[in-house]
Every structure is written in structure tokens, then in C-alpha cells.
Structure 1
Amino acid sequence: MRSVFLAAALAAVSSSAALAQSCDAEPQFAAHRTANGVIRAQYNAVSRGEWPEAIHFGEEVVAGSGAPGHKVAAHTNLCAAYAATGEYELAIAACDAAIEMRDDAWRAMNNRGVALWLSGDRAAAVEAFQAANAASSGEDEVEANLAMAQCTTAG
């Protein structure tokens, strides 16, 4: 009987450890790329975590007279860069600008959720992740963020 109990206890600990390991501790940004060379450079900077460069390229595009799609991408990537550097109000404003330009901008919704999550507003972050999920078609970053939020709030 003791060995059955020990085996059950070890199985419970192992499955709890596996669940804890499958929970991402940090939300994931969704970088946005277009054919525009500056946006591609900004996308690459976001992908590498080079936040000052991502901000520089994004501000350049936003200040210019580029196409609306490029501005949506620049705002979306600016949101990620500002959030990563702790400038949550600027991040949320950048995401809001992208969403105002394109109401189905799931990457901006996702990054808005990340900014809210990092700022400590978990309930609003989950709402943003859910909106991103509704606007997207099962994108990896969005699904990972929803799973992270569920896993984090369940524990």
C-alpha cells in the first residue's frame, strides 16, 4: 500500500512540475512586418529585443507620410518596444493608434495586452488578449498569451 501511495504522490508531483514548466512566465509580443524597408528594420529590431532601434525606426515611420498600413505596423511595433522598456502609457497609446487605424489589428491588440500585463493590469490584459484572439485566426503569440494568463491566474 505504501508503494502505491508513493507512486501516486510522485505522479502528482511530476504532473504538477510538467504543468508549471509549460506555463510561460512572460507574455509574447507580436511584431508586425511589411514590405517597407524601415518597417522591416523595425521588425528585426523588435525580434532581437533591440528596443531603442525599434523605437527609432517606428518614430521615423509615424512622423512621415507613409501608407496607413505601414503606420499600423510602426505603431504596433512601437507598442512592443515601449512596453519592453517600461513605458506602458506610451505603449498603450501606440497600440490604440494602430487599432484606431485598423480595427482588426490583432498584433496591436496582443501587444496592448502585453503592455497591460507588464504594467500589472491583468484583467484588462486578458480582455486585450481575448480581443486579439477574436480578431486573429489562432495566432501563436495570442494563444500563448491566453494560456499564460490562464495558467498564471489559476496558480
Structure 2
Amino acid sequence: MRSVLLAAALAVIVAPTGFAQSCDGEPAMAGHRTAHGTVRAQYNAVERGEWANVVLIGEGLVESGLSARNKTAAWSNLCAGYAASGDVDAALSACDEALALRDDAWRALNNRGAAHWLAGNRVAAVADFRAADAASSGEEDVSANLAMAMCTSAS
């Protein structure tokens, strides 16, 4: 009996922690930063969860003459801002604008997945999270959203 208990304790100690899943109910938004000062300010607002500022800055940015790279970032951040503010339709539209500029923009895919998740469309959310995972290189926000989606769907 003592051997069995020792083996069980040892198994718990050496078990990999990477298998732990988070069942948090809110998806992570991924901010997109570039060297452009105003896009960087919008990104900082995403990181601080200042959603009204993300939207205010973003609405001005996407109407300006930004490069495609900066505009992709601005649309992706705007998507996060709208989604977190509860305007899912505007969020989906903003992410689609970012993806029209760059179809493998993992942050836009992640944020569109988050918008779908918040709207209750779990199937579309998981599809976007998986696409974001394929387009990224193991980004933490995407991994967290996939874990949340898998954990929630398994419960």
C-alpha cells in the first residue's frame, strides 16, 4: 500500500502542468501594436482595457490614410474594443475589415473569435480561435482562448 501511495504522489509531482485548462468565461483580446504612434496608443488602451478609448482612437485611425499594415492593426484593435463594449456586429465588421487587408492576421482572427464567443456563437468562435492558432506562433491569448473554449465545451 505504501508503494502505491508513493507512486501516486510521485505521479502528481512530475505531471506536466501544461495540461491544465482554464475555464474562464471571458475570452482574451489581442492588441496589435505597430511603430505608428497613434496605433501604439490604441494598443496601449487595449492592454489597459480602456475600451471606449480603443474605439475612439480606432474610429479616427481607420478613416485616415494609414498604410495597410497600420490599418490592419487599427481595425483589429477596433474589433477588440467593440467586442469588449458589447457591440458584436461592429466588432465582426471591424475584424472582417482587418482580414480583408491581411487574411492571416491572427489578432483579428482571435478578436473575431472573441466577438463570436461573446455573442454566443461558440462554433464560429472555435473556428476563429483555431485559425488564429494556425496563423500565429503559439501566442498566449490564442492558446488561452482555445483552452477556454475546449474546457467550456467539455463541461
With the shorter chain as reference, the TM-score category is 0.7 to 0.9
- Please give the TM-score of this superposition, normalised by the length of structure 1: 0.85
Q: What one-letter code is carried by the residue in structure 2 that aligns with 1:62? A: V
Mapped to 2, the partners of 1:48 and 1:74 lie a distance apart of 16
Change (3 A) 1:146 1:42: same
Aligned pair count reads 140
Counterparts of 1:145 and 1:35, CA distance in 2: 27
Deviations along 1:83-110, whole A, 9 cap, x unmatched? 0011000000000110110011000000
What amino acid sits opposite 1:76 in the alignment?
A: S
Percent identity for Structure 1 against Structure 2: 59
Relative to structure 1, the CA distance from residue 131 to residue 21 in structure 2 (aligned partners, 3 Å threshold; closer, same or farther) is: closer
Where has structure 1 moved over 6 Å in runs of 4 or more? none
Paired position in structure 2 for 1:49: 49
1:24 paired residue number: 24
2: CA distance, partners of 1:76 / 1:126: 18
| Aligned equivalents of 1:113, 1:59: Cα separation in 2 | 21
Q: What is the aligned partner in structure 2 of residue 71 from structure 1? A: 71
Normalising by the residue count of structure 2, what TM-score does the alignment of the two structures yield?
0.85
**Residue 129 (structure 1) aligns with:** 129
Contact 2:39 2:73 in 1 (8 A): yes
Structure 1: gaps (5+ residues):
1-18
Deviation at 1:20, TM superposition (A): 9.0
